[in-house]
Amino acid sequence: MAEMDTSSSGGHKKGPGVKKGKKLSTRVDLTPMVDLGFLLITFFIFTTTMSQPTAMKLFLPKDADKPEDQNKAKESGVITLLLGKDNNVFYYEGQLDNSASNFKSSNFHDIRTVLLDKKSRTPEKDLVVILKASSESTYRNLVDILDEMSINVLKKYALVDILPIEEQLIKASEAANAPSASN
């Protein structure tokens, strides 16, 4: 069953004038092998260049002890971004109101529009972005937001410790937004 009888394929019979069966060539078709070879080459080329990690530089300022040494920023040019948990971003411009009415919520996708909007409204030398990460935010959030600074070419930004009041505000608004966020 597994073997086929080839001697009388198609019912042909070797007539008297028919030559003997050709000698089978020893040549093998190498095309699939070449295909495979080049496929592997492309694979190796791509994997080697892609795995090169990059590094983003961060320069830390020296902690200034005296308040008069600290950098001053114009209130109108300041936007503060707060990183919460679950990739939430909150922001306010200038100083935080007592009633927290200028405290707005956003996310990593929309924050670019917010930053560009602020950038277009503010003279370049006054614009300062203050980044405050809460203890619930992740390292990824931080790198993302620093990345956002370089994507939007914001040259002045500072990483500042979060204030307890801001942390509370984040918690409160996260709790308030939780039901709508789950939709």
Partner 1 sequence: MGRAKLPRKSTNIDMTAMCDVAFLLLSFFILTTKFKPAEAIAVTTPNSVAAKVAPDKDLVLITIDKDGKVFLSMDDEQVKETVANTLNNTMNLGLNVAAFKKAGFYGAPFSSLSQFLSIPEEQRKGDRLPGIPVKDSSDNQLVTWMRVIKDAYMGKKMNLLLKGDNAAKYPAFKSVIDAFKKNDELKFQMITNPESVPTGSELWKRTMSGEKREE
* Rounded-to-integer distance, Cα 159 and Cα 62, Å: 12
The window from 10-18, 39-47, 90-98, 163-171 that contacts partner 1 (CB under 8 A) reads 39-47
* Binding of partner 1 by 87 (CB under 8 A): no
The window from 2-10, 47-55, 95-103, 174-182 that contacts partner 1 (CB under 8 A) reads 47-55
Residue number, 13 or 19, with CB nearest to partner 1: 19
Binding partner 1 (rule: CB under 8 A), the pick from 73, 96, 144, 167 is 144
Is the CB of residue 173 less than 8 Å from the CB of residue 90? yes
* Rounded-to-integer distance, Cα 105 and Cα 36, Å: 53
Q: How far is the CB of 101 from partner 1 (least distance, A)?
A: 27
* Rounded-to-integer distance, Cα 93 and Cα 80, Å: 6
Q: Which residues, in sequence order, are CB contacts of 70 under 8 Å at separation 6+? A: 64
The window from 12-20, 49-57, 99-107, 169-177 that contacts partner 1 (CB under 8 A) reads 49-57
Residue number, 12 or 66, with CB nearest to partner 1: 66
Q: Closest by alpha carbon to 143, among 164, 156, 159, 129?
A: 159
H/E run at residue 78: strand 78-83
The residues that touch partner 1, with contacts defined as CB under 8 A, are 29-31, 33-34, 37-38, 40-41, 44-45, 47-48, 51-63, 83, 112, 116, 133-144, 146-147, 150-153, 161
